[in-house]
Chains A and B, each alone.
Chain A
Amino acid sequence: MLKKISGGHLAAKYMKEVEQLGIVFTLSGQHIENLLDGFTEYNIRTIDVRHEQAAAMMAHAWSVYNNVPGVCLVTAGPGFTNSLTGIANAYLENVPLVVLCGRHPLRDDLKGALQEMNQIDMVKPITKWNATCYDIRRIPEYLSIAFRQATMGRPGPVFLELLPDILFAEVEQNLVDMPLRRKHKTSTQPETSELEEAARIINSAKKPLFLGGSGVGISDCGEALGKFVEKTGVPFVLINYGRGTLPDNHSLSLADGGFTGIMAGLPMTDVIIAAGVRFNWVLQSGQLFPNAKVIRIDIDPHEVDRNRPADIGLVGDMKDVLQRLLPQAEERDHGEWINTFRNAYTAFMTTELEKRKTPSDPIHPSRLVDQIMAVFGEDAYYVVDGGDTGYYGLSGFASVHRAGVLIPSGGLLGCLGTGIPFAMTAKLTHPDKPVIVLNGDGSFGFNGMEFDTAVRHNIPIICVINNDCAWGMIKHSQEISLGDDRCTCAELGLRHYEKMVEGLGGYGELVTKDEEIIPALKRAMDSGKPACINVLTDPKVTSPATILFYQGFAEL
């Protein structure tokens, strides 16, 4: 008798045996029941969350921390719509994310079926590829296409709709072709003449800077980048998902300057090697450095001249391009320039550095970050989620690990709520390392309920809330633009988030004094539970990021 397999099991079988999938982020639903059962059958771990946007965000983070596409599975209708924010975020961040989604049965189309809606047209603008599979025998083929589309060229999220008509149906296994995992690699390479010209510019630079973004992280080019910067002596700043590709404490890293260092130093450079980074609003569309020669390295040729024409554009995978550039680059020592750069941004950060080292009442956010660093140091993973909070985390946290400091809310979507999902994935990836998420009290609200997920799945992250009892960035912007007496929808008040976490089975403490921060963090770590340390900080402090945020709109 021929062996039969259901569509859901077939999908799981393909992902386990061909894509070597080990984990899926999901929330259960009737339409996808057979696929969930397939995960059990094929021993694929499932992390079920409390809101589908967290599933998409956790899978997104899995891609970042593990350099393989993360997978999330959501059910039809509201499961699908709930996931849209997470998918949009992955789309704007060019992250390979595979979204599998249930749908109403084809049998019931146009009959008013439960959760009947046109999901594909809704998801089209925020996915790199999307499709509906109608044939049980072609499930592996569709999945194969989905995984390739997510990862090849410029990565991005893909969306595959799987009908219950095929997930619950059965097929004889010998009728199904199981595609092989694609092993051969194709690559785009820059012209030799372009590499030579780039090397000539780099070799003649006096004040160079390597500015690496997410493309550096996704390429996982740490070794090649290390050889390149160490030979050329070019200092570097790695941002977005590129952060930590080389450790923050590398002698050529200028990570400790944070946002201030970038803003102060970029206009002074004579050569910028911009690698896997977009000249978007954060970098003022590339207008910050009008006099510098710019070498752009990017997997996407359309990015090379975007917003600011490049002097040389090198199109290709980061690791490959750096390896090809290396033999032509000459050994240099830019120590004097690096000292100048560091001294300048240190002088610009005078007050911020003082605040870090000085206890204050109420607690200054810079001091809070400094105290967290004092406990966990650089052998830890940090995630930051918030507006003002993002600024303090960016400049204050440091890690020796790849993606050791991430501020996912600082991406193009400005997606608050990403902190807790990212931190949980960081902990799942690195269970032996401390994982700390610094949340604003506003941003905590979006996915705070995911502490239930952390408790159920024993994911002991430590969430520190920088609690100014308000939507700080909005409130301070409104104070400037509207006046102190006309702030609208900006106050949150004191809420005991730590008690909420305790109620869910985690560990919680409220901190109001400087001297309480470190002992509370240690107790949180010792508890072994998912923990929330709710720290009341100075509500009057405004970050430089707020001022830039406000100015951006004030000029309209």
Chain B
Amino acid sequence: MRLSLLLWGLYQWLWIASKTNKTFKKFISKAKVRLMIKTEDGKYARLFVFDKGKVSTETGPDHQFDAALVWKDSKTAVSVMLKKSQEAIFYAAAEGKLKIEGMNVYALWFDDAMNHLI
């Protein structure tokens, strides 16, 4: 799977959940978070914007963010993200395949948000 497709699919999932998933709606209801997921070369990049219950998105790497998950390459990003596991993220970071720019606490928040969907 291509990373761009995965990120688009993720946005769709989040958008639908923001309308239909009660616990997710409550979780994001007061949050203002701009989370970027991108590759190091900037070739793949999508910004997820959470604004007090609303979810929107932008493509491209040149947006302001609170936190960014920066993947070494798209293949690694896809394989790790599809595992949907905090442990996989942790080990990817430990192995130098992922770094978090900005405030890592927002990445943890995003992980918590995703846990409401899984």
Chain B residues positioned under 8 Å from A260 (CB to CB): 104
Select one of A339, A347, A544 contacting B103, CB under 8 A. Answer: A544
Tell whether B25 is near chain A: CB-to-CB under 8 Å: no
Q: How large is the interface on A (under 10, 10 to 19, 20 to 34, 35 or more residues)?
A: 20 to 34
How far apart are the CA atoms of A168 and B67 in the complex, in Å? 65
Q: How large is the interface on B (under 10, 10 to 19, 20 to 34, 35 or more residues)?
A: 20 to 34
Cβ contact within 8 Å between B109 and A547: yes
How far apart are the CA atoms of A341 and B91 in the complex, in Å? 9
Q: Encode contact with B along A324-357: 1 for CB under 8 Å, 0 otherwise.
A: 0000000000000001110110011111000000
Cβ contact within 8 Å between B109 and A348: no
Q: Encode contact with A along B97-118: 1 for CB under 8 Å, 0 otherwise.
A: 0111111111111000000000
How far apart are the CA atoms of A38 and B32 in the complex, in Å? 61
Cβ contact within 8 Å between B105 and A350: no
Select one of A267, A347, A547 contacting B98, CB under 8 A. Answer: A347
- CB within 8 Å of B: which of A248-273? 260, 263-265, 267-268
Q: Encode contact with A along B69-113: 1 for CB under 8 Å, 0 otherwise.
A: 010000000000000001100110111101111111111110000
Tell whether A551 is near chain B: CB-to-CB under 8 Å: yes
Query: Which residue of chain A has the shortest Cβ distance to B108 in the bound complex?
Result: A263
Cβ contact within 8 Å between A347 and B31: no
How far apart are the CA atoms of A347 and B30 in the complex, in Å? 28
Tell whether A283 is near chain B: CB-to-CB under 8 Å: no
How far apart are the CA atoms of A270 and B109 in the complex, in Å? 23
Q: How far is the CB of B77 from chain A (nearest CB, A)?
A: 14
Chain A residues positioned under 8 Å from B90 (CB to CB): 264-265, 267-268, 344
Chain A residues positioned under 8 Å from B95 (CB to CB): 343
Chain B residues positioned under 8 Å from A542 (CB to CB): 103
Cβ contact within 8 Å between A344 and B91: yes
Tell whether A548 is near chain B: CB-to-CB under 8 Å: yes
Cβ contact within 8 Å between A347 and B91: no
How far apart are the CA atoms of A488 and B94 in the complex, in Å? 42
Q: How far is the CB of A264 from chain B (nearest CB, A)?
A: 7
Chain A residues positioned under 8 Å from B31 (CB to CB): 554
Cβ contact within 8 Å between A348 and B102: no
- CB within 8 Å of B: which of A368-400? none
How far apart are the CA atoms of A351 and B102 in the complex, in Å? 5
Cβ contact within 8 Å between A347 and B32: no
Select one of B94, B96, B104, B106 contacting A341, CB under 8 A. Answer: B94
User: What are 27 residue pairs bridging A and B, where the CB atoms are less than 8 Å apart in the complex?
Assistant: A263-B105, A263-B108, A264-B90, A264-B108, A267-B90, A268-B87, A268-B90, A343-B95, A343-B96, A344-B91, A344-B94, A347-B94, A347-B98, A347-B99, A347-B100, A348-B99, A349-B104, A350-B101, A351-B100, A351-B102, A351-B103, A480-B32, A481-B30, A544-B103, A544-B104, A547-B103, A547-B106
Closest 5 CB pairs of A and B: A544-B105, A347-B93, A344-B94, A343-B94, A554-B30
